[in-house]
Structure 1
Amino acid sequence: MSATLYYFDGRGKAEIVRLAMAAAKVPFTQVDIKEKQQFETLRAEGKLIFGQLPMVEYEGNHLVQSCSIARYFASKGNFLGSNEQERLKVDILFEGTRDFNTAFMPYGFLGFKEVLDNAKNTAMPRYLPIYNFILSRNGSNGHLVGSKLSLADLGLLEVILTIEELLGEDELKPYPEVQNFLKVMKSNEGLASYLRSDLRRRKNDERYVAEVKGVLY
């Protein structure tokens, strides 16, 4: 069954949801929220429990909270770990990627160069060595936990793709395991198809920032 994602015409907090659906091979379309009235209508219809986006309509449900939605679709793809110990590791490492990703989320909203400079000076030196070590410790299969794709991998992929696009692949050279991880993720059929498709939204730019502010404020 196809899902419908409601979000702004950008990546933002919906990108981890898109990655999870793509990896789980759940077909989806997106309704771009570009006008305040669209947003207010969703709220008035009671589809946004906390008055926030993203929201996914799927099998009669209105799914909200980006990490909860991602976990839901990760469960569909069996990406949450094969046993209790793996499930714990996946959840911990996924939450770590959310903290890492936070450094890039204000890109454009709090400046472009300013956000990237802050991420380079704080988040990247903190998190990249950790994930490089975890990948190394787990072996050379290019996954954070076990021997197959997990939600933790999807969370890290989101951040690494951002670094590659906004700062360049050279930033990853000191982290060979992370570089290998990126190659492995890009070879995944579902993820590769998504990354080539029109479903992947553009990076933040001035137009996107203006659209979001126009809807919310």
Structure 2
Amino acid sequence: MSGKPRLTYLNGRGRMEPIRWLLAAAGVEFEEVYLETKEQYDKLIKDGFLLFQQVPLVEIDGMKMVQTRAIMSYIAGKYNLYGKDLKERALIDMYVEGISDLMQMILMFPFSPPDAKEKNIESIKERATNRYFPVFEKVLKQHGQDFLVGNKFSWADVQLIEAILAVEEKVPDVLSGFPQLQVFKSKMSNMPTIKKFLQPGSPRKPPPDAHYVETVLKIFKK
């Protein structure tokens, strides 16, 4: 095995996508193993790879890490994306948790019944425009910097640009009332590591399709 982090998950976004984003933003190359059958997943559990019988699994620095938040905290700390002190880290944690709440709605969207999809898109739009994006619009305006915390690129910035692009896939004009976030999106999208990740052929996954949903349900059925 090479020295690259090794990611085990399905060939889709899910709970691994923010980890892919964070590694890519840090300029770290990684390998991926895709789960395609329930037998592969059961073998990981049997072999003791999954502490809580859940993926994502990231093998890094000799560890077999599970739990998305723990994995991302480690990556952010390792690659200097976690603030310069405890206060900055606390801000990053708050922002990341808020963004994660919004992303949970997007994560579950592909699994909603067809007749509920329009209503769920409206819910995502309402939550993004009334609860989450106003917070970050205000932070950027008051802070007066290109980044959410301090004057340095952090995990929070990565999570926010991922969330903006994910919401825009459902609601293309969602940033129309948020000029600061429009500028933020443009600057983040042109950072070299993120720009590379947004190019075709990168490890970034497309929006979930019917095959992905079917595979998730097949692998994780009880």
Q: Deviations over 1:117-151 (max 9, x none)?
A: 2211334321111111111111142x111111111
Contact kept, 8 Å, 1:55 with 1:63, in 2: the verdict is yes
Contact kept, 8 Å, 1:29 with 1:199, in 2: the verdict is no
Whole-Å Cα distance in 2 between the matches of residues 136 and 206 of structure 1? 40
Match in the other structure for 1:193? 196
Whole-Å Cα distance in 2 between the matches of residues 6 and 105 of structure 1? 18
Give me the TM-score of the superposition, normalised by structure 2: 0.92
Aligned-residue sequence identity (percent) comes to 33
Residue pairs, 1:48-197, within 5 angstroms = 48-111=50-113, 112-141=117-146, 143-168=147-172, 170-196=173-199, 197=201
The 3-state SS of whatever aligns with 1:5 is strand
Q: After TM superposition, what 4+ stretches of structure 1 lie above 6 angstroms from structure 2?
A: none
Q: Deviations over 1:60-110 (max 9, x none)?
A: 211111111111111122111012221111111111111121221111101
The 3-state SS of whatever aligns with 2:20 is helix
* RMSD of aligned residue pairs (Cα, Å): 1.4
Any gaps of 5 or more consecutive residues in structure 2? none
Task: Give the aligned length.
Answer: 215
Any gaps of 5 or more consecutive residues in structure 1? none
Contact kept, 8 Å, 2:145 with 2:151, in 1: the verdict is no
Contact kept, 8 Å, 2:129 with 2:174, in 1: the verdict is no
Contact kept, 8 Å, 1:131 with 1:178, in 2: the verdict is yes
Match in the other structure for 2:6? 4
Please state how far the C-alpha of 1:114 moved relative to its aligned partner. Answer: 3.6
Q: 1:97 to 1:135 in 2, by over 3 A?
A: same
Please state how far the C-alpha of 1:51 moved relative to its aligned partner. Answer: 0.8
Whole-Å Cα distance in 2 between the matches of residues 43 and 207 of structure 1? 24
Whole-Å Cα distance in 1 between the matches of residues 46 and 119 of structure 2? 37
Whole-Å Cα distance in 2 between the matches of residues 25 and 198 of structure 1? 12
Whole-Å Cα distance in 2 between the matches of residues 10 and 114 of structure 1? 24
The 3-state SS of whatever aligns with 1:171 is coil
Please state how far the C-alpha of 1:42 moved relative to its aligned partner. Answer: 0.8
Whole-Å Cα distance in 1 between the matches of residues 7 and 102 of structure 2? 24
Contact kept, 8 Å, 1:16 with 1:67, in 2: the verdict is no
Whole-Å Cα distance in 2 between the matches of residues 190 and 211 of structure 1? 30
